């Protein structure tokens, strides 16, 4: 036996997997999910910018509620986009990330819709109108993602049932051992 040949395969250091630049990837945002996430962030940002342009307001409560909601929606959409694009996705797991995404997008979509309605009811200028229109568009993208996700999950449930029908009754394994007369 040569010196060290027995131990070489187990003691040599393993080559580490190559790291992605900045740990960023788009592989979890395939298909319809990437356009939805990008559109949510863009429309929320435009709503924030248009709302910040408003110089005077008569009833400012709706403006302040819309400001808080649109800014929160933008930051939350960026946060979830970062979770999907980084190693955090693998850390938390697909089920947890998708569950958090579903409930967060539902809450943001509903609250953003309410804020847009309140802002539209209390606004008095054309710049305000542009802001709440983008608010309606952004809340629509949040709620549309929820609908697509819901129908996608229902389709997966149906596909699983068709793929694994269980034990059919005609199989001999399900018949009684002793035939009773």
Mean pLDDT of 145-174: 73
**pLDDT at position 113:** 96
Question: What pLDDT sits at residue 153?
Answer: 82
pLDDT of residue 93: 86
Question: How many structural domains does the chain have?
Answer: 1
Q: Is 85 exposed, middle or buried (0-12, 13-18, 19+ CB in 10 A)?
A: buried
Query: Domain for residue 177, yes or no?
Result: no
For residue 130, is it within any domain? yes
Q: Cite the DSSP H helix spans in 1-32.
A: 8-11
How many residues are recorded in the chain? 181
Tokens of 141: 């993208």
The pLDDT tens digits of the residues spanning 6-45 come to 655 565 556 555 555 556 777 777 777 888 889 999 999 9
Answer yes or no: are the C-beta atoms of 12 and 72 closer than 8 Å.
Answer: no
The boundaries of the domain holding residue 151 are 33-161
Residue 14 included in any domain? no
Full-model pTM: 0.72
| CB of 135 closer than 8 Å to CB of 74 | no
């Amino acid at each position: 036996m040569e010196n060290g040949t027995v131990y070489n395969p187990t003691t040599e250091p393993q080559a580490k997997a190559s790291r992605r630049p900045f740990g960023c990837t788009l592989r979890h945002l395939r298909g319809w999910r990437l356009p939805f996430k990008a559109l949510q962030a863009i429309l929320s940002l435009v709503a924030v910018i248009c709302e910040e342009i408003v110089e005077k307001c008569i009833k400012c409560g709706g403006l302040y509620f819309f400001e808080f909601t649109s800014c929160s929606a933008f930051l939350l959409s960026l946060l979830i986009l970062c979770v999907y694009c980084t190693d955090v996705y693998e850390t938390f797991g697909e089920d947890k990330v998708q569950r958090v995404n579903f409930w967060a997008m539902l809450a943001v979509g509903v609250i953003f819709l309410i804020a847009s309605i309140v802002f539209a009811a209390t606004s008095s200028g054309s710049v305000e109108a542009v802001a709440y229109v983008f608010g309606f568009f952004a809340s629509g993208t949040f709620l549309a993602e929820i609908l697509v996700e819901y129908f996608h999950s229902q389709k997966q449930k149906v596909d699983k049932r068709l793929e694994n029908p269980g034990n059919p009754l005609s199989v001999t394994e399900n018949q009684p051992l002793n035939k009773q007369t």
